[in-house]
Structure 1
C-alpha cells in the first residue's frame, strides 16, 4: 500500500460545510466565520515519550486529537478542523484502521474535520495542528487572573499519572481500578463545552497537560499574580483517594496528562452547568509565587515539579 492509497483509504472524507477544500490538495481551504478569530494549536506525540508502544491504536488516535482539542477548550474556542502529520515505521493496515477509527470518531463528535496533513515512513510520531474560532475579544487567555479571583478545576486530577505509575511497576491496583485510571490516561475528555461556556466569565484559563503546579504557574506568570492552592481540595477519583498521601500529592499536583481545565473567576461568579463537576481549589493573591497549603491553611512541603521535556 502506497502513501496516497493509505491517505485515501483511511483519512480522506468528503469536505463538510465550512471547508471548501479538504484532504487531497496542496492546501486546505477553510471559510472563516465573520466576527470570529482563528485559534491554532499544535501538539506532537512521540512513541516512548508520550505513549507506550503497546497502546491500543484506537485509543492513541483518540488521545492524539483530544490533547489538541483540549488546547482549544482552554481558550474557549469552537473547533473548525485539524491537520495530521504522521510518521509510520510501516503501513500496517490493522493499526491504521484502529488509529483512524479512534481519531475520526472524536473528530466527528466535536465537528472537527481532518482537512489535510502529511505521511512519511519513520519512527512512530504524530503531530496534529488544530484550528478553532472564538468571537473577537472573547478568547480565554492565561493573562487575565486578578487578585481575589477564585481558582477552579474541572473533573478530577491525577488518574493518568496513577496509571503511569502502575505501568512503571511502582503501584499495584486491582483490575477495575487499573481499568479506570488507564481510561483517564488513554482517553482524556477535552472540555470544549466548558471552555465555550466560560467565555466572558473566566478571567483566565489553561488545560492541565504537564501537571497542576506548572500549568497554574504559567497563569500566574502571565497574569503577574500569585496564588494559594489547597491540596486537600483537589478533586480525586475514589481510586486515587485510596492511595497514600505522598502518591496523592504526586499525582494531583505534578502528574499531568489530565486535560482538565483550570480557570479563575471572580468570587460569587455563576459558573456554567455543562455536565462536569467544578471544584474550587484556591485563590489568586498579590504576592508572587504559588503557595500550597492543606485544608487548615498550613503550608505543605512537597518538593514536586511538573513535567518538562528537557529536564524530566
Structure 2
C-alpha cells in the first residue's frame, strides 16, 4: 500500500484521505467506479464545475486546507446563484511529484470542515500525478425547485440590478499579495489589509441566498470574473443593456479606504473578479419585498444599476453621473 518515502499508492491515498469524506450512501465509500443520487420529487439537479490551477487561481504556497475550501466554495457559489441547495461534489486532483501526506491531510481536513459547514459530501472523483502545476477540479451538484432555476438570459429592461455582499475585496487582496507596499499606499490598518487578503484566500458563497433566487430572481449568476464583465455576459445573453452606478457599489471599509486613497483601485474593484457574490436582476415592483426578504435571511443586497434596452457594448459604468472608462471589463482566462 505504500511506496518510497512512506507515501500511500493511489488506492491507499483514496482510502486514507478521501474515503472519510464520502459519507453519502450513493458514494459507496468510493469503492466503485461511479456514484448514484436520486433527486427528490419536485426538484431538479443543478450541476457546475470549476478548475483551479496553482499560479493562476491560487498561490502554490497557500495553506492546503484553504486551497481545498476555495476549490469547493467557488462551485457552491455557482449553485447559490442558481437557487440550488448544495448536496455533494466530485473531486479530481493532479498532484505534483513532491506531494506529501501532511499536505494532503491538511487538504482533506479543509474539505471536511466545509462539508460540515455546508452540508455536502464527496461522491467520487479521480487522483493523478502531474509534472506540474498542481490543479484541482470540483464538480458540485445541488437541488432546486423544479422550474425555478434562474438563468443569465432572462434579464428584462426596467429591472433593478442587485449584488450580494461587498464587491472588490478579493481582487484588492490579490493586489496586496503581489505588492505589499499597497498596504501603506492605501493607508490600510493591519486588520483592513488582512480582511482583503482573507477574502482572496477564502470566498464566502452566499448559500443562504439560494431561496431568494428561486422566489425573486429573473436572471442571476455568480460574480467570478469581475462585476462589470459578468454583467456584460448577462446582458449579452439576455440581449439587453445595463447602466451600473459605481457610486452605489457596496464596499467594505477596507475597499472604500483603498479607493479613496487610490482612485485607480476602483477599476480593480469593478473588473478584478473572485468576488463570488451573486449578481441578480429583480422586477422593480418586487424590489422592496426582495430587500425585506434578504434582510430576513441575513443576506446583504444592494441595488447597483438598471437593465436597459440593448446598446453597443451592453454595459455603461457611471460615476457621479459621468461615464467611467475601464481598461478592461473582466478577468480573461484566454
User: Shorter-chain TM-score category?
Assistant: over 0.9
Q: Which segment is superposed worse, 81-90 or 246-255?
A: 246-255
Equivalent of 1:159 in 169, 174, 180 = 169
Per the alignment, residue 4 of structure 1 pairs with 11
Q: Which segment is superposed worse, 197-206 or 226-235?
A: 197-206
How many angstroms does 1:250 deviate by? Answer: 1.9
User: Aligned partners of 2:255, 2:46: CA distance in 1, in Å?
Assistant: 35
Does the alignment pair 1:103 with 2:111?
yes
Per the alignment, residue 256 of structure 2 pairs with 241
How many angstroms does 1:35 deviate by? Answer: 2.0
Per the alignment, residue 39 of structure 1 pairs with 46
- What whole-Å deviation, never above 9, does each CA across 1:138-196 have from its counterpart, x for those lacking one? 01110111111000001101111111111111622543222111111111111112022
User: Aligned partners of 1:200, 1:264: CA distance in 2, in Å?
Assistant: 12
Equivalent of 1:224 in 217, 239, 246 = 239
State the aligned residue count.
309
Per the alignment, residue 217 of structure 2 pairs with 202
Query: Residue 19 of structure 2 aligns to a residue in which SS?
Result: coil
User: Aligned partners of 1:309, 1:212: CA distance in 2, in Å?
Assistant: 16
Q: Which aligned runs of 4 or more in structure 1 are off by greater than 4 angstroms?
A: 14-18
Q: In the superposition, relative to structure 1, how do residues 147 and 175 fare at CA in structure 2: closer, same or farther (>3 Å)? A: same
User: Aligned partners of 2:255, 2:21: CA distance in 1, in Å?
Assistant: 43
Aligned pairs for 1:289-304 within 5 A: 289-294=314-319, 296-304=320-328
Query: Residue 123 of structure 2 aligns to a residue in which SS?
Result: strand
How many angstroms does 1:6 deviate by? Answer: 1.2
Aligned pairs for 1:69-218 within 5 A: 69-89=76-96, 90-122=98-130, 123=132, 124-169=134-179, 171-172=182-183, 173-218=188-233
User: Aligned partners of 1:127, 1:174: CA distance in 2, in Å?
Assistant: 35
Superposed CA RMSD: 1.6
Query: Residue 199 of structure 1 aligns to a residue in which SS?
Result: helix
How many angstroms does 1:97 deviate by? Answer: 1.5
How many angstroms does 1:197 deviate by? Answer: 2.2
- What whole-Å deviation, never above 9, does each CA across 1:5-37 have from its counterpart, x for those lacking one? 111111113755563635221001112211211
- What whole-Å deviation, never above 9, does each CA across 1:65-97 have from its counterpart, x for those lacking one? 000111111111111210100111144121112
Does the alignment pair 1:266 with 2:280?
no
User: Aligned partners of 1:70, 1:306: CA distance in 2, in Å?
Assistant: 18
Contact 1:241 1:248 in 2 (8 A): no
Q: In the superposition, relative to structure 1, how do residues 195 and 248 fare at CA in structure 2: closer, same or farther (>3 Å)? A: farther
How many angstroms does 1:38 deviate by? Answer: 1.3
How many angstroms does 1:55 deviate by? Answer: 0.5
Contact 1:190 1:260 in 2 (8 A): yes
Q: In the superposition, relative to structure 1, how do residues 245 and 146 fare at CA in structure 2: closer, same or farther (>3 Å)? A: farther
Q: If the length of structure 2 is used for normalisation, what is the TM-score?
A: 0.88
Q: In the superposition, relative to structure 1, how do residues 86 and 14 fare at CA in structure 2: closer, same or farther (>3 Å)? A: closer
Q: Which segment is superposed worse, 163-172 or 211-220?
A: 163-172
Q: If the length of structure 1 is used for normalisation, what is the TM-score?
A: 0.94
Query: Residue 194 of structure 1 aligns to a residue in which SS?
Result: helix
Per the alignment, residue 275 of structure 1 pairs with 298
User: Aligned partners of 1:47, 1:33: CA distance in 2, in Å?
Assistant: 37
Equivalent of 2:271 in 254, 268, 275 = 254
User: Aligned partners of 1:75, 1:158: CA distance in 2, in Å?
Assistant: 22
